[in-house]
Structure 1
């Protein structure tokens, strides 16, 4: 869950906590310059009240909360200024207009996805995938198709990937996997019930875990060894087709594939091309742009 959502949901907050939450929501630019003590003076409360409020949200104190909140605020203010990722086109748009809107959405989504990555986490994720003997992927919905696309690419460079299609089979996979393998979870919300149940089954098994999930706090990102963030602009249901989240997942999977490929590029390139040529002997084109 985003901090913005936690601050907005004030139904269970005390009057003082709601006042603090509203201040954070309405004055993000002012917070950049304010210490916890100064903010307490602005709101006529004790500094300890600000600290307690931040701890209720899951942070060590005001400074820890401030850093996370401002980082999230800057993220939410970046990209997607001229296009709505939930409804990128309208009923009266022409074919050409829709084509340009989808193009803009794709451009914004990829840039947005890259902008929210942590470099150290990316490096860790690549190392985890690269050293794994076998990669198990568990997800649901459309992301299964993207996972299979990743599986096929990895197979072409000699890497073993299993996309788990059924919930029950995930439990068998867990018990046959070991510390030289890894589990990759894909869940936009990070709260999908079956995903969390499989994740809980992995506890104590010493099997590395990686997740592709939304920006902000969620059960999945807090439980795996490393999480890469999906562009988090779409509503779970109220959107026109999961364009942005699907593309973001595909980009992250392609990024992982490209990094593994690059680790042993020359050998993989030679072997992959030799195999491709052996079964594509009669494939040709008269188009000079795509001729080998």
Structure 2
């Protein structure tokens, strides 16, 4: 989760903390190397006030918060084009202006996602998928479309996945899973009561679970075995469409597929070539 997202998702600031937040947000690059004494002077606050502010954002203290601010700056988050993820165009925009805005939105969403990913988490998730006997996706609506795209890619390397909701029998699907399987929950809001019940049930059955979400406050996070949280500037409901969140899901799933493929690159390539030859020789392709 980016520092700027922590600011956005924290709503119980005092007046002093609001002043600190406003100053930091407007001077992110300068604050990334600023001492606590200097920041206290600039915001007319104290050392203890800045430490309390950092802890409210779930940091251990000022130094860890400043390190995260520096990470944001180093990852060029400030250079992202200012496109509203919820309303990326207006009625007055021309067709080309809309095309430019959607292009910028896609780039922004992927760059924001990349800045929040870490290598250990990606490798761990990829290995869970590789090791699973059966792979089951819990995803609905637009998100299920992304899951199906991932499902299609996996088939090409002889890994078959199931969409739990495909025939409205996700509960029965969950009941048949075991410790050798993996359940992947794709939910940007992470607020589905049904999914919370499902993941709690799977935990009791000792079924490994992976949650990919955009909500760092989701109750599902406390239950899932592994969580990949990618926050975008997208509202839950009030928006034109689920642009940023769906770009994020597709990017993460494409990345996981590429990692999985790369771990057995030569074997996967030979197998695909062999299958392609069989299909063409039998005039199926």
Instruction: Give the TM bin, normalised by the shorter chain.
Output: 0.7 to 0.9
Whole-Å Cα distance in 1 between the matches of residues 68 and 255 of structure 2? 26
Q: Equivalent residue for 1:196?
A: 196
The farther-off stretch of 178-187 and 238-247 is 238-247
Partner of 2:133: 133
Say whether the 8 Å CA contact 2:88–2:101 is kept in structure 1: yes
TM-score by length of 2: 0.77
Using the size of structure 1 for normalisation, the TM-score is: 0.75
Q: Is the alpha carbon distance of 1:106 and 1:24 closer, same or farther for their aligned partners in structure 2, counting shifts above 3 Å?
A: closer
CA distance 1:132–1:63, shift in 2 (3 Å): same
Provide the residue aligned with 2:80 in structure 1: 79
CA distance in 2 between partners of 1:151 and 1:207 (Å): 20
Gaps of 5+ in 2: none
Superposition deviation, residue 129 in structure 1: 1.4
**Equivalent residue for 2:7?**
4
SS in 1 for 2:140: coil
Matches within 5 A, 1:20-39: 20-25=20-25, 27-36=27-36, 39=39
SS in 2 for 1:203: helix
**Matches of 2:59 and 2:178, distance apart in 1:** 34
Distance change (3 Å), C-alpha of 1:217 and 1:109: same
How far did 1:150 drift? 1.3
Structure 1: gaps spanning 5 or more residues: 285-292
Match of 2:143 in 1: 143
CA distance in 2, matches of 1:231, 1:110: 11
Corresponding residue for residue 244 of structure 2: 244
Per-residue CA deviation, residues 147-206 of structure 1 (Å, 9 max, x unaligned), is 122112212321121111179844444443233222211121233333333233333443
Give the equivalent residue in structure 2 for 1:158: 158
Residue equivalent to 1:224: 224
My pick for the range that moved more, 246-255 or 30-39, is 30-39
User: What is the aligned residue count?
Assistant: 280
Q: 1:169 to 1:54 in 2, by over 3 A?
A: farther
Which region of structure 1 is more displaced relative to structure 2, 237-246 or 151-160?
237-246
Q: Is the 8 Å Cα contact of residues 179 and 206 (structure 2) preserved in structure 1? A: yes
Q: What is the CA-CA distance between 1:229 and the residue it aligns to?
A: 4.4
